[in-house]
Amino acid sequence: MIQTHGYAVQNASSPLAPFVFSRRAPGPHDVHIEILYCGICHTDLHQCRNDWAGSTYPMVPGHEIIGRVKAAGAHVTRFKVGDFAGVGCMVDSCRQCASCRADLEQYCEKGPVWTYNSKEYQNQQPTYGGYSEQIVVEERFVVKVPSALDLKATAPLLCAGITTYSPLRHWKVGQGQKVGVIGLGGLGHMGIKFAKAMGAQVVMITTSPDKAKDALRLGADQVLISRDPTAMARHGNSFHFLLNTIPNAHDLNPYVNLLKLDGTMVLVGALTALTPPLMGASVIHGRRSVAGSAIGGMAETQAMLDFCAQHKIVSDVEVIAIQDVNKAFDRLLKNDVRYRFVIDMASLRTKN
Ligand code: NAP
Ligand code: ZN
Ligand code: ZN
């Protein structure tokens, strides 16, 4: 076993604090990674606070991990010591079900093993995430980081990046389409960059007028303030596709009414019951669809990173020391992040 330092919460209301735990010793198929950077996803906040129920403690969050390979097992073929590597939301899946065979491990029928707040299949040991100094992961769930990418700004691609890239690809977003990204946060700012790079006309749909300038800088062609009913009506029935990243329960109806005939809105944020209810008329008129999407498979995560290298896309980040992680959580809750916090894990090594 490997003794590992990290930060954990002990219950749904405790702050993150230093925590020492054990990781498994690397096996022949494992990659042992020294963590350099870890992004702070809004999911980390939901999970620490038990917003979705089912949280287990102590919990070391973090699933936007970039690091350097410390050791590679005897059967590892794609990594060697010193390589830069990424780990996202999953660390294992059954490999046998139809989803796994289709490279869609995130929809594994047995249930993937998540990077934290989950249990390893073999020994039912809890998994601990990336707010820590090192991690051991089977090669299939590790991606290669193209050398062109800035490491700290690449960490958020492992979740915010793939979660927005995958539905844009699945619904074949591209030239000639009007695409709306709802919510300008960690996911939303990646959604703008990807939709733009794929050739769509991009509209940022936000509750925050003060983010309009940033939205245009990030690549949006237009900004729509969702709290302005006149502006919302002006854009009614006009969108081919909407990517909805709002983290909490909200009224879907005003957004669905933005879709044109056969348009689709994909939810990636709100996991809980959505209130008020969706009106049947909102989808019946215009044969509209409301769908959902979870991260992306490992092959697609690698393809997304390669796409980022090709199009020079990374995340806009604010780098913090791990000692400031509770402040970052508070700011994330208050919608005060431009647009992703990333923990520099050197702070854990030097100041702990
Ligand atoms: P974030 O950085 O906090 O951004 C969310 C944005 O949504 C905010 O910046 C804000 O943008 C908008 N917003 C917040 N509360 C709102 C409300 N009540 N009504 C309308 N808009 C609101 O969060 P994130 O890290 O991007 O994550 C977004 C959600 O996706 C979280 O729930 C997270 O758990 C989930 N997630 C899902 C997956 C998946 O696989 N499906 C993966 C990663 C994350 P404006 O100021 O522009 O309005
Ligand atoms: Zn995430
Ligand atoms: Zn499976």
Domain range annotation of the chain? 2-159+296-349, 161-292
* Whether the predicted pLDDT of 181 surpasses 90: yes
User: What CATH number has the domain spanning 2-159+296-349?
Assistant: 3.90.180.10
| Angle at which helices 298-311 and 186-197 cross, to 10° | 70
> Of ligand 1's atoms, which has the minimum distance to the CA of residue 45?
34
User: Taking Cα atoms as reference points, which of 260, 103, 236, 107 lies closest to residue 177?
Assistant: 260
Q: What's the pLDDT at 63?
A: 98
User: Taking Cα atoms as reference points, which of 38, 224, 264 lies closest to residue 131?
Assistant: 38
Q: What residues contact 48, with CB distance under 8 A and at least 6 apart?
A: 9, 12, 16, 55, 59, 61, 329
Top-level CATH class of 161-292?
A: alpha beta
Which SS3 state, helix, strand or coil, does residue 30 take? strand
**CA gap 180, 192 in Å, rounded:** 8
Q: What's the pLDDT at 271?
A: 85
Q: Match 């995430």 to its residue by tokens.
A: 129
Ligand at shortest distance from the CA of 291: 1
**Choice from 38, 40, 41 to test ligand 1 binding pocket (greatest atom count within 8 A of CB):** 41
Q: Tell me the per-residue pLDDT of 241-298, one tens digit each, with 9 for 90 and over.
A: 999 999 999 999 999 999 999 999 999 998 888 889 999 999 999 999 999 999 999 9
User: Taking Cα atoms as reference points, which of 47, 128, 135, 19 lies closest to residue 332?
Assistant: 47
Amino acid of residue 98: A
**Number of residues written out for the chain:** 352
Q: Report the pLDDT averaged over residues 183-188.
A: 98
**CA gap 335, 209 in Å, rounded:** 13
Element housing 263 (H / E):
strand 259-267
* Whether the predicted pLDDT of 351 surpasses 60: no
**CA gap 302, 300 in Å, rounded:** 5
Which SS3 state, helix, strand or coil, does residue 43 take? helix
Which residues are registered as beta bridge partners of 35?
67
Ligand 3 centroid distance, CA of 297 (Å): 11
Burial of 224: CB neighbours in 10 Å, binned 0-12, 13-18, 19+? buried
